Amino acid sequence: MAMINIGASNAGDQFYRYKMPAIQSKIEGRGNGIKTNVVNLVEVSKALARPPMYTLKFFGNDLGALTKFDEKSGLAIVNGAHDAGKLAQSLEGFIKRFVQCFSCGNPETMIEISKRETIHLKCKACGALSDVDMRHKLCTYICKNPPEIKKDKKEKQLRRAEREREEAGAALDAEERRRRKAEKKEKKEKKEKKEKKEKKEKKEKKEHGEGEDAPEGASSASEADDDDDVEWQTDTSVAAAKARAVEQLTDGAASMVTVVAEKMKDANIEEESSEEEEDPRVSKLRAYAAKNDAAKTAEYLISDTLGVESKELGLVFLLEAIFDEDEPIPPQIKAKKDFLVAACPSDQLQRALLCAFERYVTETATSGFKVFSLILSTLYELDLVEEDIIKKWNVDVDAASNIEVEPKVAQAVRKQAAKFIDWLEDSDDDEDSD
């Protein structure tokens, strides 16, 4: 690989060193049929990120010779005898006109063709847009044979399709949660109805057995009821189970009933402990927000009455208070926008809002974790959080450490946010090119 120095036309004494293979030529034939085979034209053009035909056409125009290129074999022919030194000198002219940035001299540029068929070089280093002199003959060929579509645009289309699939998936998840919630509510109502019926029947049997005017048959029914006390007894504590076991069963059976009762108690304790209790301040804030507007709720959020230790934690409580964890988050952001705007008037609080969502989707509404990019997109579109704040939050993994978000969890959240962050970067690139 040869090292070629390329000077910057408008950058003073600044030079960039660009690594690419030295051009190789092979003179073939004799007389009027003499020609030059540019052996490694494809490799050279690939190093310059330009199609081989652009380079070969420039040679033809610069040297005043006919050219021929075979795309299948990569054979590049220039009529006449031209040594490697002469071709290298011509190649330098091609690089200065159609490759390097006119501002900083960097050879890493992309060709862009405007609607008016003018050619520009977009620099990947400084971002400058250089205007190519359209008087050169090669410009006509480039406009008629533009470079292939950049992969970036295809990637944007793929990201857009992925975002649409995520939205559809979120809608399906929401429908499934509503169905499960309805089933759970129906089961609970049936259970309460059954318990109420059993309690009523037991009360009627008890009154029937203890009544003064009860018929003779009632005494036997009462005795039968007494025999079934274990089944109808409402006191399910361990002590009551032991007492009933001692009174009614043998020693072996009594120990079995006691063990079962203890296991039932342990199961109930485990089930109750699995459901984490909500902070009382969240309940107070939810009740207050339901009766007051966004401005008053924002004042109450930082007041001594609620007693929140920090503004960051207060925003976590606000999300838990005004959002339904079983519903999709992006539509709720739009519905509760006024509350979020009132609670986050400064850049610092906008950053704290991102940290609050970071904790909310990893502890409370975990279904929002997979669509965190969509959450960021909604916050950005509604002007709830500025672009610079999102980017600063993204690079600071410890941003939410003061509200107990662990670094591993924070990294996972940022991985989910990567699609939206990439979209922001692409948008900036598009604006610069315009």
Q: Where are the domains of the chain?
A: 2-148, 157-209+220-231, 235-275, 280-433
Spatial distance between the Cα atoms of 56 and 188, rounded to a whole number of angstroms: 79
What is the pLDDT at residue 215?
46
65: three-class secondary structure by DSSP: coil
Pick left, alpha or beta for residue 260 (phi over 0 → left; psi -120 to 50 → alpha; otherwise beta).
alpha
CATH class of 280-433: mainly alpha
Q: What are phi and psi of 27, to 5 degrees?
A: -85, 130
Q: What's the rounded mean pLDDT across residues 358-365?
A: 91
What is the pLDDT at residue 297?
92
CA distances from residue 417 to 170, 252, 344, 357 in whole angstroms, order as listed: 16, 62, 21, 12
Cα of 321 vs its chain's centroid, Å: 24
Tell me which DSSP letter residue 145 carries.
Answer: S
Tell me: pLDDT of 19 over 80: no
**Confidence class of residue 185 from pLDDT cuts 50, 70 and 90?**
confident
The average confidence (pLDDT) of the chain is 80
Spatial distance between the Cα atoms of 41 and 160, rounded to a whole number of angstroms: 38
211: three-class secondary structure by DSSP: coil
Q: What string of DSSP letters covers 353-398? A: HHHHHHHIIIII-GGGSTTHHHHHHHHHHTTSS-HHHHHHHHH-TT
Tell me: pLDDT of 89 over 80: yes
- On whether the 2-148 domain is CATH 3.20.20.60, my answer is no
What is the pLDDT at residue 341?
93
Our CA dihedral for 305, 309, 312, 318, rounded to 10 degrees, sits at -40
432: three-class secondary structure by DSSP: helix
What is the pLDDT at residue 432?
61
What is the pLDDT at residue 214?
45
- SS (HEC) of 99-144: CCCCCCCCCCEEEEECCCCCEEEEECCCCCEEECCCCCHHHHHHHH
119-123 β-sheet, strand order = 109-113, 119-123, 129-131
Size of the chain in residues = 434
Tell me: pLDDT of 356 over 60: yes
**Confidence class of residue 323 from pLDDT cuts 50, 70 and 90?**
very high
Spatial distance between the Cα atoms of 273 and 4, rounded to a whole number of angstroms: 71
205: three-class secondary structure by DSSP: helix
Spatial distance between the Cα atoms of 125 and 148, rounded to a whole number of angstroms: 21
What is the pLDDT at residue 429?
63
Letter for the amino acid at 338?
Answer: D
What is the pLDDT at residue 80?
92
User: What do you get for the CA distance between the two ends of the chain, in Å?
Assistant: 36
